Structure 1
Amino acid sequence: MNDDHAAERRQELHGYIIGLVSAILLSAIPFAGVMLGLLSPAALIWVIAVAGLVQVIVHFRFFLHIDLSRSHRDDLQLILFSLLIVVLMVGGTLWVLTNQRHMMG
């Protein structure tokens, strides 16, 4: 029984290490792109956006333990619903402020 617990802990630690290394690499890539200046600004924005999106997925998978398995779908649905609410709030605010700026100018 103790060996099963130790093996489970090693596997969990292994997942955390993979997640940490992935997160560090996904943070270093945009920083290197900005510091080295090898890419155009438009390409750099795409690199930053893609690295950020992949990093969100890495955090969900390795640190929050949320994947597409049936037992974690409720958590994923809750996160997606929360994201939808935030997007609606931010988008609505930007729409109102842009409309107000257009009307005043």
Structure 2
Amino acid sequence: MTQAHATHPIDHDDAHGSLKGYMVGTILSLVLTLASFGVVIFHLVSPGVGLAAIVVLCIAQLVVQLVYFLHIGASRSQRANTGIFVCTALLIAVIVGLSLWVMHNANVNMMPTQMSVDRAMAHD
């Protein structure tokens, strides 16, 4: 038998996280979550600024989780993860966008509930 499966030409060590990376990601996620919680519970800023702060903290949380837990990055060993993520995000955006478009058109083309059948036929 050959040892074909014993060696692999691609090194995947960079694509997998380390304990230090997971700890940094966990701590950053907790800090961002507590910051969002603090903005809402303690009313630290006005409602308009609070909404903007929560959106910024949400985007930061998304980036932290993508980098530290899903290993999305620009390095050579992470290109497959990044490509799959981009394709999935595009597919979800298309499905959601088209679903909203269909629901909007169905709403526009439906008969209003206050209109009777006779009145609707006279309206045409």
User: TM-score when scaled to structure 2?
Assistant: 0.66
Alpha-carbon offset, residue 62 of structure 1 = 1.4
Deviations, residues 50-103 of structure 1 (Å, cap 9, x unaligned):
222211211122122232102211210110110111111111112221232233
TM-align CA RMSD: 1.9
Write the distance in 2 (CA, Å) between the matches of 1:99 and 1:69: 43
Q: Which structure has the larger Rg over C-alpha atoms? A: 2
CA deviation after TM superposition for structure 1 residue 38, in Å: 3.0
Letter in 2 for 1:18: V
What one-letter code is carried by the residue in structure 2 that aligns with 1:19?
G
Cα distance change of structure 1 residues 102 and 51 upon mapping to structure 2, 3 Å threshold: same
Greater helix share, 1 or 2?
1
Letter of the 1:40 partner, please give it.
Answer: S
Q: How does 1:4-43 map to 2 (within 5 A)?
A: 12-43=18-49
Partner of 2:59: 53
Q: Which runs of 5+ in 1 are unaligned?
A: 1-10
Pair 37,103 (structure 1): closer, same or farther in 2 beyond 3 Å: farther
Give the count of matched residue pairs: 95
Match of 1:8 in 2: none
Percentage identity across aligned positions? Answer: 32
Gaps of 5+ in 2: 1-16, 113-124
TM-score (norm: length of structure 1): 0.76
| Counterparts of 1:68 and 1:89, CA distance in 2 | 27
- C-alpha distance in structure 2 between counterparts of 1:51 and 1:85, whole Å: 25
For structure 1, which segment, 76-85 or 91-100, has the greater mean C-alpha deviation from structure 2 after superposition?
A: 91-100
